[in-house]
Amino acid sequence: MTDQIDDRRARRNVWILVAAQAFLGAQMPMIFTIGGLAGQSLASNVCLATLPISLIVLGSMLSATPISAIMQKFGRRTGFFIGALGGAAGGTVGAYGLYLGSFPVFLAGSFLTGIYMSAQGFYRFAAADTASDAFRPKAISYVMAGGLVSAVIGPQLVKATSDAFVIPFVGTYLAVIAVNVLGSLLFFFIDIPKPPAPSADSPRGRTRWELITTPRIAVAVICGMVSYALMNLVMTSTPLAVVGCGYTKGNAADIVSAHVLAMFAPSFFTGHLIARFGVERIVALGLVILAGAGAVALHGVELENFFVALILLGLGWNFGFIGATSMLAGAHAPEERGRMQGLNDLLVFGGVTVASLASGGLMNCSGGSAVEGWTAVNMAMAPLLALAGAALIWLMLQPETRRR
């Protein structure tokens, strides 16, 4: 009976978080669609075109631990409001940077946007806070499914706003401000209790080092890092590659939209698949699909290749990242939540920062054409996939008593 009561509240929270993922989350495909193109127009060196995306991820990485600590002390709602404030501030400064034609100011706005991206990353953990063990994987996957709506809203807002003003993309950043202001109202309705203040005799849990050296946690972090980093590496370069190969910004927006739809559409059943087949098998499937995305991208630069590769990239990310999140959520105690989740997102977004920065260099500075750059981006997936695959195989070969 307790599980039923808890899951009733958990389901209410899930719906609020789904709405937040859908509406507030729309700003991420918006910015990832135009960030590299805007950076390319402002940067003095085209190798730095994706630096705005890198600064978003860097801001997210550096914000992860403080926001996790704030949520541990003051509750999820406070952290989510801070995230929306960061998103609105990022949109404001980004628009001002475009108005001035200043790359450094535009980069400052990108860094502030990272605060929102970090807070959004905790939606999936918040979904698990009030859920029973049985409902937890489904709660996480349902919240991630909210990205389906953001995949439609974001690119369509880009099409409607990117050329709304004389200065390209200013309208998009103004729309980002509105999304954050309106979307933040959802958090007034969330019902997740603040974690109790620890007493002198409360369990303290493991240290960060003890947590990260636990086999199951270590492999979950590695697979989460690789899944997210590879998705970001390829997606960041996609608009540059599409436009560089002679297609339009509208084509790029449609491809990103298809990609983000593929990222979140499986979330309706990913949790069920995890419950039925086990989290390790679903993560492994994600890694295989990511490898397939790279193979399709390397096969050619026709428009259909871009679409199929980016759809596979989204599917692979979904299984790999949601699986890794579920693996991690079940591997630490409640008193370790803030410590472990902050550390996880610090490491994950650290890897994504490196990937997004490498993306621009590989795309624009690895040959004399967009085709050569796109090839370099997709070839770079191989060693990271090998690392994650080896880690997962190693975990599956361990006796159950040594996995935790």
Task: Give residue 18's pLDDT.
Answer: 93
CATH number assigned to the domain comprising residue 312: 1.20.1250.20
- Is 199 domain-assigned? no
Residue 388 has pLDDT above 80, yes or no: yes
Structural domain contains residue 196: no
Confidence of residue 233 (pLDDT cuts 50, 70, 90): very high
Is residue 159 a part of any domain in this protein? yes
Model confidence, pTM? 0.75
Give domain status of residue 198, yes or no: no
Average pLDDT over residues 372-383: 94
On whether residue 341 sits in a domain, the answer given is yes
Q: Indicate whether 336 belongs to any domain.
A: yes
- Considering the domain boundaries, does residue 201 fall inside one? no
Q: Which amino acid would we find at residue 300?
A: G
Provide the domain limits for residue 345.
Answer: 2-188+206-403
- pLDDT at position 6, please? 59
Report if residue 316 sits inside a domain.
yes
Q: How many domains does the chain have?
A: 1
Written as six digits, the tokens of 61 are 């990485």
The 10s digit of each residue's pLDDT in 175-226 is 999 999 999 999 999 988 877 766 666 677 788 888 888 889 999 999 999 9
Q: What is the pLDDT of residue 373?
A: 92
pLDDT at 98: 94
